[in-house]
Amino acid sequence: MAPKRSWAQARAKVEDEGVCRSCGTTRGLQAAHIVPRSRIPGPAAMDARCVIPLCVDCHAAEHDGKLELLPLLTLEEQAYVVSLVGLGEAWRRTTNEREAA
């Protein structure tokens, strides 16, 4: 059985920031993955640089392709995601261009 992933870093980041990066609310915050965990190898998926705090509504909007993440990311987050999945995949995922190029 694979070891259980630790959410400690992701939870700590959400609690430290304390606001939704999109709308600014402080309620219902979740650790939203910039790139789906299935696309990130091993424990790197749980690294704090792979998540941003989003409220329930903004997180749902992101999953529905109605919220772009790129403008919400720090340069460090952008660079880390590119290092994990490559520039093309990072661009598609953060700009909602989900179709393969």
pLDDT digits (tens, 9 = 90+) for 19-47: 999 999 999 999 999 888 777 777 777 78
Range of the domain at 74: 8-95
Q: Which residues contact 30 (CB under 8 A, 6 or more apart)?
A: 14, 53, 54, 55, 56, 59
Which pLDDT belongs to residue 37?
79
pLDDT at 80 over 60: yes
Number of domains within the chain? 1
- Which residue would you say has higher pLDDT here, 97 or 82? 82
Question: Is residue 69 situated within a structural domain?
Answer: yes
